[in-house]
Amino acid sequence: MISIIGAGPAGLYSSYLLSGKGYEVNVFDQKKKIGLPVQCTGIVTSKIKEIIPLEKNIIKNRIRKIELHSKNNSQSLSLKEPDLVLDREKFDQYLAEIAKKNGAKIHLEKKFIKKEKNTILIKDLKKNKIESFRTDFLIGADGPLSPIYNILNQNTEKNYYKGIQVRAKGSFDKDTFHVYLGSLCPNFFAWIVPENESIARIGLASQKNQISLLNEFKKKLEIKNDSIIETQAGLIPIYNPKIKTNKDNIYLIGDAASQIKSTTGGGIVQGLTAARCLSNAIADKKDYQKEWKKQLGKDLWIHLMLRKYLNRFKDKDYDKLVDMLKNDKLKNILETQSRDVPSSFMLKIILAEPGLLSFASRLFI
Ligand SMILES: Cc1cc2nc3c(=O)[nH]c(=O)nc-3n(C[C@H](O)[C@H](O)[C@H](O)COP(=O)(O)OP(=O)(O)OC[C@H]3O[C@@H](n4cnc5c(N)ncnc54)[C@H](O)[C@@H]3O)c2cc1C
């Protein structure tokens, strides 16, 4: 009997895979409805299609161009394989449907309270009643503020970015994802991700002042309050390789395990990849932590180092970096390689643009 806490992408995909392997799986979530509220921009690389086939109605848009803006420069990249903009509500619901078809049971408005030996205590939020469920394996897919994280990691710090975005009406280039770098959003970036020609997800993430930074960004883009359809916000955990993700029969996955790219805050593809590692590790009695680190560890670490490096950049450094994208060799690598796996092209970009090494001093200043 497997209990999964959290019906987000990592928990639902794990439940689909494990029920497909014949396990009895219960998924518990405190939410009323799967996929809501949306707290995500939903942009993923085409790598997601190697993991799971997506129905057409889940893909809101295909992004063919990334335009990078520093304070005084702009350059664009034409993606060989378009990025996909997901409808996160429909995506999560689709994962729930395929999991249920495989036999997984999904229980909503049920909040995990604690684990006691081979049972877990769950609060039924509708009946205001505590129930217990026998559990051989407990999987914490319970997001950034995971209570199961606390069972395994009492002394390991978890840090976050605070993401905030609006869905706004306006006139947008449907093909282009805009990224704004530098003092406009220190230590991360601001974005415009179009859903279509007339609606875009406009936001940023930061460790502090995210609301005032977003207000400034909206002002710069001349986004008026009456064009805003909704505001969405959520925490983005910063990858920490020291987090313990498995002990005895307890496992952590997805945002609960901080399996997030620190450069972009993306975690959907990483959570799904880790779900595969987890289901195989349970079925084949392998070491889950070793398995997911084999698949994701090196790249998540590179993203973390790049983020630390970029966080020392000033506007003039970003101007110089964006200017380097005029280099056709560098451009070609960035246009053709998946940013989910930087380990496959880091060396190539340094060889293509040795000028990148001129930023090395930023590691120390
Ligand atoms: C503003 C923002 C923008 C983002 N944009 C992108 C993007 O463009 N691309 C991308 O790849 N990623 C993006 N991310 C990250 C992405 O949203 C997450 O990586 C992804 O949702 C993680 O999935 P998960 O299943 O691990 O956790 P979640 O989706 O957070 O699901 C966790 C679930 O656990 C449930 N839960 C928590 N505690 C309990 C409890 N005690 N009992 C029962 N249930 C519980 C919650 O209700 C929730 O449903 C963004 C995040 C934010 C905040």
Distance 237 CA to ligand 1 centre (A): 10
Nearest CA to ligand 1 atom 26: 254
Same domain as 144, residue 29:
yes
Q: Write out pLDDT tens, residues 100-111.
A: 999 999 999 999
pTM: 0.96
Same domain as 149, residue 63:
no
Q: Is beta strand 246-247 parallel, antiparallel or unpaired with respect to 228-237?
A: unpaired
185: which DSSP letter? S
Q: What is the CATH number of the domain that holds 79?
A: 3.30.9.10
The answer to the question of residue 135 being in a domain is yes
Mean pLDDT of the chain: 95
Query: How far is 278 from 270, CA to CA, in rounded Å?
Result: 12
Neighbouring C-beta atoms of residue 242, cutoff 10 Å: 9
Same domain as 167, residue 27:
no
Nearest CA to ligand 1 atom 19: 267
In what helix (H) or strand (E) does residue 350 lie, and over which residues does it extend? helix 346-352
pLDDT value at 41 more than 90: yes
Q: What average pLDDT does the segment 241-260 reach?
A: 97
Handedness of CA 73, 336, 301, 247 (dihedral sign): positive
Q: Write out pLDDT tens, residues 126-180.
A: 999 999 999 999 999 999 999 999 999 988 888 999 999 999 999 999 999 999 9
The answer to the question of residue 228 being in a domain is yes
Query: How far is 342 from 349, CA to CA, in rounded Å?
Result: 10
Nearest CA to ligand 1 atom 13: 266
Same domain as 120, residue 22:
yes
* Residue 289 · residue 276 · CB < 8 Å: no
Per-residue confidence (pLDDT) for residue 362, from 0 to 100: 61
Distance 39 CA to ligand 1 centre (A): 7
Same domain as 208, residue 152:
no
User: Ligand 1 pocket test: which of 3, 29, 235 has the largest number of ligand atoms within 8 Å of its C-beta?
Assistant: 29
Per-residue confidence (pLDDT) for residue 363, from 0 to 100: 57
Residues with CB under 6 A from ligand 1: 5-11, 28-31, 39-44, 111-112, 141-143, 147, 163, 165, 203, 234, 236, 254-256, 260, 265-268, 271
Nearest CA to ligand 1 atom 27: 143
Q: Write out pLDDT tens, residues 307-335.
A: 998 999 999 999 999 999 989 998 999 99
User: Ligand 1 pocket test: which of 58, 114, 124, 142 has the largest number of ligand atoms within 8 Å of its C-beta?
Assistant: 142
Per-residue confidence (pLDDT) for residue 155, from 0 to 100: 82
Same domain as 150, residue 118:
yes
In what helix (H) or strand (E) does residue 225 lie, and over which residues does it extend? none
Same domain as 100, residue 207:
no
Q: What average pLDDT does the segment 56-80 reach?
A: 96
Q: What is the CATH number of the domain that holds 298?
A: 3.50.50.60
Per-residue confidence (pLDDT) for residue 206, from 0 to 100: 96
User: Ligand 1 pocket test: which of 268, 300, 340 has the largest number of ligand atoms within 8 Å of its C-beta?
Assistant: 268
pLDDT value at 360 more than 80: no
The answer to the question of residue 324 being in a domain is no
pLDDT value at 364 more than 70: no
Atom of ligand 1 lying closest to residue 253 CA: 26
pLDDT value at 1 more than 90: yes
Residue length of the chain: 365
Q: Which domain holds residue 136?
A: 2-35+88-156+240-307
